[in-house]
Chains A and B, each alone.
Chain A
């Protein structure tokens, strides 16, 4: 069975600074997707960034980028120029590419605080 581990329950960063959230996962599959989701106090889960395992290039979405290390099974999220609106719970997540249904496996989350 696949597992996703986030070892940092909480993190804080000064506004405009850069922060990196860590995630490791365990799988015996070779083809899968990895995600970072953001859950603000409104509770609605929002997709931040997606990485396909077959792609070597790290995904980037504006201020958000990932460091995907497939051999090490590591998938960290870097947020540059942190903004107050980035404060939220962040979940690392995994989805097999071989299933015909969208079973997403989530980590326990990291609560990110932005200090003004």
Chain B
């Protein structure tokens, strides 16, 4: 069965960096793109980026360039999100989600369990 397993919660100080992993299993990793979605406390879902797992090419939402780096290691079927120069407003749950992309459309059919990143001094 398809599973996306994310790394555990993180507590970081402002200015530090964090790397969240998302390990996929139960399907061919390069057959589906990968989404990253942020959810701040008490807020809605905010799409961050999707990554073509064949080329590694990301498509970013506005506001998620610069400090946010999305990468892959296809040898271990894992996607990564790295955030640098963390700010308090980066405190959120970060989800990876498999993207079923077709005919210039798509949706997230499987989701990781989420990783809570807390930024606090």
Asked if A and B are interacting partners, one says no
